[in-house]
Amino acid sequence: MNDAFVLGVDLDGVVADHTRRFRDILAEIRGVSPDTYPLERSWDFGEWGLAPGEYAALHRTAVMDYDLFRTMDPIQGATDALWRLSDAGVWIRIITHRLYVNWGHEKAVGDTAAWLDLHRVPYRDLCFLGAKPEAQADVYVDDAPHNVEELRARGNETIVFDQPYNRRCDGPRAHDWAEAEELVHERVARHAGRVELQLPGIDAGSDRLPRHQGHLSQTSATARRTPLSGLDSDP
Ligand SMILES: [Mg+2]
Whole-number pLDDT of residue 230: 36
Higher pLDDT, 233 or 138: 138
Longest Cα pair distance anywhere in the chain, in angstroms? Answer: 96
Tens digits of per-residue pLDDT, 148-164? 999 999 999 999 999 99
Confidence of residue 10 (pLDDT cuts 50, 70, 90): very high
| pLDDT number for residue 227 | 36
Per-residue pLDDT tens digits for 44-54: 898 999 887 89
pLDDT at 133: 67
Model pLDDT, residue 51: 83
Does the structure show a pLDDT above 90 at 91?
yes
pLDDT, position 3: 81
Domains within the chain, CATH numbers bracketed: 1-16+75-223 (3.40.50.1000), 18-72 (no CATH)
Q: How far is the CA of 59 from the centre of ligand 1 (A)?
A: 14
Q: Given this model, what pLDDT does residue 193 score?
A: 77
What pTM does this model have? Answer: 0.80
> What distance in angstroms lies between residue 119's CA and the mean position of ligand 1's atoms?
18
Which of the pair, 51 or 35, is modelled with greater confidence? 35
Write the pLDDT tens digit of every residue in 196-217: 455 555 554 444 445 444 444 4
How does residue 191 score in pLDDT terms, banded at 50, 70 and 90? confident
Q: Is 111 designated active site?
A: no
Q: Which is the catalytic residue, given 12, 17, 138, 143?
A: 12
Lowest mean pLDDT among 10-19, 67-76, 93-102: 93-102
67 tagged catalytic: no
77 Cα to the center of ligand 1, angstroms = 16
The pLDDT of residue 29 is 96
Centre of ligand 1 from the C-alpha of residue 2, in Å:
25
